[in-house]
Structure 1
Amino acid sequence: MSAIREGMRQVMAWLHGWTGLALGWVLFVMCLAGTMSVFKPEISRWMRPEATASAGRIEAIAAATNWLASSARGSTGWYLTAPDDRANVVEATYDKGGDYVARALDPVSGAPVARETLGGEFFYRLHFELELPYPWGRWLASIAALAMLTALVTGIIAHRRIFRDFFTFRPRKGQRSWLDGHNALGVLALPFHLMITFSGLVTLASLNMPWGIVANYGNDLAAAFHDLAPGAVDRPAAGRPATLAPIAPMLREAERRFGGAPFSRVSIANPGDVASVVTVYRSDAAQIGATVAEVSFDGPSGRVIGAWSEARPAVGTYAVIYGLHMGRFAGGLLRWLYFLGGAMLTLAVASGMILWVVKRRERAPLSLANRIVERLNVGIIAGVPIGFAAYLCVNRLLPIGLIDRAQQEVTIALDAAGIALLAAIAVPPRLGWPLLLGVLALLCFAAPVVGGGLSYLSQALARGDAMLPMADALLIGVALTALACMRAVTRKRPEIRRPARARAIA
């Protein structure tokens, strides 16, 4: 029995290592971007420092619809997210000339804010779409999440002293030090790692497990979505113009029907048409489950034409799993714990990739394949944060009125990460690590001060806004950490004593 258990652990260890290697770099990008997304509204506020106006949810949505009525004529739909205690703008999406446009609207005037940027939305989309066209990015994210779940389960089975070794760290011991760090990062937040990975897979279930929908509905997705949301009101445009009734009374009526709970999103279908429909969705910020509750109004008259709240247990279970992954209910300390758990998962992936190389270097000279892995490790682990830091820097440096400014920011971020990857491939790792870590530190030091950053900081302090100073402090903390890592990797590596008959390991 002991031999069987040991054989099982060896198989699990092999599967753990190769699963992590196959998709480790993709997982690193997903985990780091997902960790950043925990503070998506705060990142967006940092990247729009001029947007300081504030208004209540109802007033902000009313101002936004007034602006859209005159500036987005001919659109088939407006989709609005109301401001709250974390976000101070109305996030609006609407179609114009055949393309969807996303704009942050001032909560008082309703007009777009001066600085066009995706803000934290970039990290959120990168997390599960990887900047790839639909559905390929989401497919890759699903496969990577499945690999992560496999790596977590096999890592638990393979490690026979998982909790005892968690309390052990032996510094400057090469492979042993990296293994101790990898184990500690994985075990301390293991319940969070399992939850966030499994719930991430569930959020994409209709894409990676579509067989139930196909078996029951074939290609009729409209019927599937109707059964999923049976109370939703959907009617075609009549082709006759009509003015939208004042939206504020509709929003107040919706909140009354929600039992006093606030709304979070509003959609207006067929705006400017006699068949327009205003749908108000309940906020889920105060509970774990993603609430499915909505009230629909006839646009021209403002009368209620539909209201429903999801009560089916199966859908409610999915809503809880989805809500756990999104973490919109998390406030204060719990949000920071989400961030810390994501950071530990990111570091566990990174340390596992580095451990793969360190383990093989200590046994024998690295093969060509493992030398390539080593350089890719440098390029991804240091290069992706460089791209993120460049994204924050160019947000302050690009002219505010630049055409297609938001896309320019994303392009520069991806280019910066790509250049860092090419540099890591071109130079030896002993030079690549300090070079890229130094660039990362420089960019993180620069982000809070370039483009008038100090002026924005002083203005935030004057009005008592602690978010921007805290974000600047975090950037400086990342810069100092990068410098400390750069100093550590420039130390002379101790000579490795290899067995006399060591052989190359692929």
Structure 2
Amino acid sequence: MKEGFRQSMAWLHTWSGLLVGWVLFMVFMAGTASYFKDEITFWMKPELHAVAQHAVPPVQAAEGAVAYLQQHGAASPRWFINLPTERQPSTDVLYLAPPAPPSAASAAAGDKPRRRFDRASLDPASGQAISAPRATRGGEFFYRLHFDLHYMPALWARWIVGFCAMFMLVAIFSGIVTHRRIFKDFFTFRPKKGQRSWLDAHNVTAVLALPYHLMITYTGLVTLMFMYMPWGPQVAYKDRGGEQAFFAEAFPGNGGDQFKASGSKVPLAPVAPMLAQASAHWDGAAVGRIVVHQPNDAHAVVSLTRAEGPQLSAEQPTMQFNGATGALIGAFGDVPQPVAQTRGVLYGLHIGRFGNPLVRALFFLSGLAGCLMVATGLLLWAVKERQKFAKTLKQGGRISVGLRLVDGLNVGAVAGLPVAMAAFFWANRLVPVDVAERAAVEIRWFFIVWGATAVLGLLRPTLRMWQAQLAFGALLFVLLPVLNGFTGPAPLTVSLRSGPSTVAGFDLVAMALGLGLASAVWILERKRRKSLVKQATKHAAPVPSAPAAAQPALLTSEQGS
């Protein structure tokens, strides 16, 4: 152990945060954006901006979706229907389509054609498919990115993110122990004090949303607890069917593989009476999702899930009906099992879907505070480490390879990731609508831009590079409303007056983020100019002054970087 318990905690806090800090920054950024993933997806489909300005009864939307699926997916073994909400005004359907005709090469190789899922966005009022909405992952990309990392097997990605989240939890608790004046420091910020200013910024952003940081890190681990710690169900249900028996008991009504077709064709019963019965059972709560297993078969089952509401739990109750007769089969989840209720509440806290727009905005701001906390922690390490090279730098030497690597990774992560996120939105509007695998192309541009900023940061981790990347990100975000005005039917001048309010909100938040990045550029420019004036004064008339190491790392000059 170091000199004492608190000193040991300080060492643990430093290294547990630094080693995984760049991954955590990405997780925080993508996870924060996910609080408004539906709104992001809606903005990225401008073809939907003129749809459903007025609310449509759920029954009308459901009947229109069933009619569409009867026409286009009658042979599919399963239909998925997401009914419109305030956040997502279109009706979204998903069904298993017949396999595409095999190519000559695959036919020659003997490959079996695979069935694929087809999606469609429907106008809830008419039930007709909206003309060619562009293919995009939208906000779902950020949601999946923050725990699946993309371009790698999901299992490995989730283990990596869980490992980093555990380090984050260790860093939070060790930080609490380290800062004996944690609440006093919350009200203390001393600008223009070099390392002291970075430490104050780190403390303020950490304490500002400390309950949120603890909650979001712990609940993030809980959401995947059955993957990280599967031994309890495995042992307890060893002689009762294993983990599958545990999940069937803890989360009844969620399985779909047990519904087998009989081969006897029977028309699907009307869904309107089912929706009315389910809504009455849930005290007037609306249906949010419909799943039809084996449609138009004697063994068809219609599963209705309650729409998300103000309940903390993310686990919503379901009701199942006989698809041939419309008779009720059973209701599940009205009184959930304790394990399901506990996990549902913790998962619900993590994703924040229970909240109204104001609550989700507070979650969003807390997530931004988490991003700043991680970023200032990474920069603070570089500031402190650079002090060891003050004499070397003064004599014209260079910093260590390790510090240069950290400086470069800081540029690529902290400054480069916002640039990549803004580029993702620009690609959504500039990539032609009819490009093959269009959603993948948008994501590819995100990683191309992020990779380019990371390489540039590693090659030249200087103050000028920080300014260039932050300024580029600011420009891209500030101009997003202009881009929307030229490529969509709801420019900001229109959406502010007559809606959709979701589009106006996205444009305003984009402008605010851009102005925030521009403010960072302005602050860095002031520091650069003061540093140049100070150096010129030294050469003109040497006077005693503070060592160069007292200046912010990134950030003193371009010397030694």
Shared fold, TM over 0.5: yes
Residue aligning to 2:250:
228
Structure 2 residue 290 is matched with structure 1 residue 256? no
Q: CA deviation at 1:84?
A: 1.3
Residue aligning to 1:504:
none
Residue aligning to 1:177:
197
In structure 2, the CA distance between the partners of 1:231 and 1:50, relative to structure 1 (3 Å rule), is closer
**Are the aligned partners of 1:397 and 1:450 in contact in 2 as well (CA < 8 Å)?**
no
Where in structure 1 are there 5+ consecutive unaligned residues? 500-506
- In structure 1, distance between residues paired with 2:253 and 2:34: 31
> In the TM superposition, what whole-angstrom CA distance separates every residue of 1:188-231 from its partner, at most 9, and x where no partner exists?
11011111111111111111111112223458443232112335
Residue aligning to 2:300:
276
- In structure 1, distance between residues paired with 2:265 and 2:462: 65
Letter in 2 for 1:59: Q
**Are the aligned partners of 2:481 and 2:507 in contact in 1 as well (CA < 8 Å)?**
yes
Find the residue that maps to 1:88 and give its secondary structure.
coil
**Are the aligned partners of 2:47 and 2:488 in contact in 1 as well (CA < 8 Å)?**
no
**Are the aligned partners of 2:407 and 2:458 in contact in 1 as well (CA < 8 Å)?**
no
> Which one is further off, 356-365 or 223-232?
223-232
Letter in 2 for 1:470: G
> Which one is further off, 306-315 or 335-344?
306-315
**Are the aligned partners of 2:315 and 2:344 in contact in 1 as well (CA < 8 Å)?**
yes
- Taking structure 1 as the reference length, the TM-score comes to 0.92
Residue aligning to 1:358:
383
In structure 2, the CA distance between the partners of 1:93 and 1:208, relative to structure 1 (3 Å rule), is farther
**Are the aligned partners of 1:20 and 1:148 in contact in 2 as well (CA < 8 Å)?**
yes
> Which one is further off, 18-27 or 77-86?
77-86
Find the residue that maps to 2:154 and give its secondary structure.
coil
Matches within 5 A, 1:29-178: 29-51=26-48, 52-54=50-52, 55-96=56-97, 97=99, 98-108=115-125, 109-111=127-129, 114-131=133-150, 132-178=152-198
Match of 2:490 among 432, 456, 459: 456
Q: CA deviation at 1:290?
A: 2.5
In structure 2, the CA distance between the partners of 1:71 and 1:273, relative to structure 1 (3 Å rule), is same
Find the residue that maps to 1:450 and give its secondary structure.
helix
**Are the aligned partners of 2:87 and 2:502 in contact in 1 as well (CA < 8 Å)?**
no
Q: CA deviation at 1:61?
A: 2.6
**Are the aligned partners of 1:58 and 1:248 in contact in 2 as well (CA < 8 Å)?**
yes
In structure 2, the CA distance between the partners of 1:142 and 1:239, relative to structure 1 (3 Å rule), is farther
In structure 2, the CA distance between the partners of 1:267 and 1:487, relative to structure 1 (3 Å rule), is same
> In the TM superposition, what whole-angstrom CA distance separates every residue of 1:341-399 from its partner, at most 9, and x where no partner exists?
11101110111111110111123253211110110110011111111101111111122
**Are the aligned partners of 1:40 and 1:120 in contact in 2 as well (CA < 8 Å)?**
yes
- Taking structure 2 as the reference length, the TM-score comes to 0.83
Alpha-carbon RMSD: 2.3
**Are the aligned partners of 2:261 and 2:299 in contact in 1 as well (CA < 8 Å)?**
yes
Find the residue that maps to 2:330 and give its secondary structure.
strand
- In structure 2, distance between residues paired with 1:144 and 1:95: 36
Please identify the structure whose Cα radius of gyration is greater: 2
Where in structure 2 are there 5+ consecutive unaligned residues? 100-114, 391-398, 536-545, 550-561
Matches within 5 A, 1:373-388: 373-388=406-421
Letter in 2 for 1:303: A
**Are the aligned partners of 2:407 and 2:461 in contact in 1 as well (CA < 8 Å)?**
no
- In structure 1, distance between residues paired with 2:41 and 2:211: 29
- In structure 1, distance between residues paired with 2:523 and 2:447: 28
**Are the aligned partners of 1:114 and 1:401 in contact in 2 as well (CA < 8 Å)?**
no
**Are the aligned partners of 1:232 and 1:296 in contact in 2 as well (CA < 8 Å)?**
no
Residue aligning to 2:357:
332
- In structure 1, distance between residues paired with 2:461 and 2:336: 59
Matches within 5 A, 1:199-210: 199-210=219-230
Q: CA deviation at 1:232?
A: 5.2
Letter in 1 for 2:197: S
Find the residue that maps to 2:520 and give its secondary structure.
helix
Q: CA deviation at 1:423?
A: 1.6
**Are the aligned partners of 1:268 and 1:279 in contact in 2 as well (CA < 8 Å)?**
yes
**Are the aligned partners of 1:393 and 1:446 in contact in 2 as well (CA < 8 Å)?**
no
In structure 2, the CA distance between the partners of 1:24 and 1:211, relative to structure 1 (3 Å rule), is same
- In structure 1, distance between residues paired with 2:141 and 2:17: 25
Residue aligning to 2:393:
none
> Which one is further off, 255-264 or 376-385?
255-264
User: Identity over the aligned pairs, expressed in percent?
Assistant: 39
User: How many residues are paired up?
Assistant: 496
> In the TM superposition, what whole-angstrom CA distance separates every residue of 1:108-158 from its partner, at most 9, and x where no partner exists?
324255222222111111122111322122222211211111111111011
Find the residue that maps to 2:289 and give its secondary structure.
strand
Q: CA deviation at 1:6?
A: 6.7
Letter in 2 for 1:121: E
Letter in 2 for 1:334: V
Structure 2 residue 507 is matched with structure 1 residue 477? no
Letter in 2 for 1:46: W
**Are the aligned partners of 1:56 and 1:83 in contact in 2 as well (CA < 8 Å)?**
no
Residue aligning to 2:104:
none
- In structure 2, distance between residues paired with 1:31 and 1:392: 19
- In structure 1, distance between residues paired with 2:18 and 2:74: 51
> Which one is further off, 194-203 or 220-229?
220-229
> Which one is further off, 165-174 or 223-232?
223-232
Find the residue that maps to 2:96 and give its secondary structure.
strand
Find the residue that maps to 1:236 and give its secondary structure.
coil
